[in-house]
Amino acid sequence: MPRLFNRVITFHIMGEIYDNETSPENIIRNYNWSFRNEDGKIHIIAHHKDNRGRITKAIKLPKIHKWKTPDSEFFLNL
């Protein structure tokens, strides 16, 4: 019976911008992010159809933050 937890992990994002009017935040926001868990491996997938720039590299940072809601002290019966 698992307990639930919520944490925030952060990434250092690097990329390219191809015009002068676009900000890095615009490039990151235009990505569609999805998550997949297969065979114990976690895949974070991001794709976009924007031609103003792109993310070229993402590095997970070591700091882990707590989320706004507290962790569950209850066990789930699955």
Beta carbons of 62 and 8 less than 8 angstroms apart:
no
Look at residue 48 in the predicted model and tell me its pLDDT: 92
Look at residue 75 in the predicted model and tell me its pLDDT: 58
| pLDDT less than 70: residues of the chain | 1, 70-78
**Other Cβ atoms closer than 10 A to 57:** 9
Rg (alpha carbons) of the chain, rounded to whole number: 17
Look at residue 72 in the predicted model and tell me its pLDDT: 65
Q: Regarding beta strands 41-47 and 32-38, do their DSSP bridges make them parallel or antiparallel, or are they unpaired? A: antiparallel
